[in-house]
Amino acid sequence: MDDHSLFRESLSRLLEAEADFRIAGNCASAAEALAVLDREPVDVVLLDYDLGEEQGSSFLESAKKKGFQGHVLMVTAGMSDAGTLRALESGAAGVFLKHSPPTQLVEAIHKVVSGETWLDSRAVRSLVAGASGKSDEQRNTQPLTEREHAVLKGVFEGFSNKEIAGKLQISEGSVKAAMQQLFDKTGVRTRSQLVRIALERLAQDWR
């Protein structure tokens, strides 16, 4: 869903070329997209944050009320920290920046369909910077060690365990151990749940 017809048409042609994708609708507004959801089942909605006179968050709220069980991936030129947090709190499965490679969008769609969260590292870098200035008491969570903070930052930026290990110059086993501690402290079981709950807690702290 995007208010620029040229972008919508180009995106539709790109995705139609994928064998396992089918385009259910090409919409310029939240109302049009909600009408599509009424007509047929939809697995993924690609949603621009800025829809001209309205914001994509209005669709997220309305779709949730309708009982939409699919996934929503924000595809946008850019969002503020507050907008990113609101979108994720409202149920968006992630944020994809429009200037990223088209092949990466296909990867992002597959990720969110499988239940994962897609967060472009550039979209969350400022969130990580903002979070680093808060104490664990301010975040209302169990204290994290310096290593856990570093590993969580790597997760936010989209790095794999192996990449985080290389960046921190520690073993991959040490990264996995830190991840397990993060899971235990936050009460989650997957990376996507870890990202979501961490951002939700940041959103609560920044209100």
- Predicted confidence (pLDDT) per residue in 81-126, tens digit: 777 777 777 788 888 888 888 888 898 898 888 877 787 766 655 5
Per-residue confidence (pLDDT) for residue 51, from 0 to 100? 64
pLDDT band at 45 (very low <50, low <70, confident <90, very high): very high
Average pLDDT of every residue of the chain: 78
Predicted confidence (pLDDT) at residue 200 exceeds the cutoff of 70: no
- Predicted confidence (pLDDT) per residue in 17-39, tens digit: 888 898 888 888 888 888 989 88
Count of other CB atoms within 10 angstroms of residue 143 = 11
Per-residue confidence (pLDDT) for residue 95, from 0 to 100? 86
pLDDT band at 44 (very low <50, low <70, confident <90, very high): very high
Instruction: Walk me through the domains of the chain, giving residue ranges and CATH numbers.
Output: 5-119 (3.40.50.2300), 124-206 (1.10.10.10)
Per-residue confidence (pLDDT) for residue 52, from 0 to 100? 59
For residues 35-49, average pLDDT: 88
Question: What is the percent of the chain where pLDDT is above 90?
Answer: 11
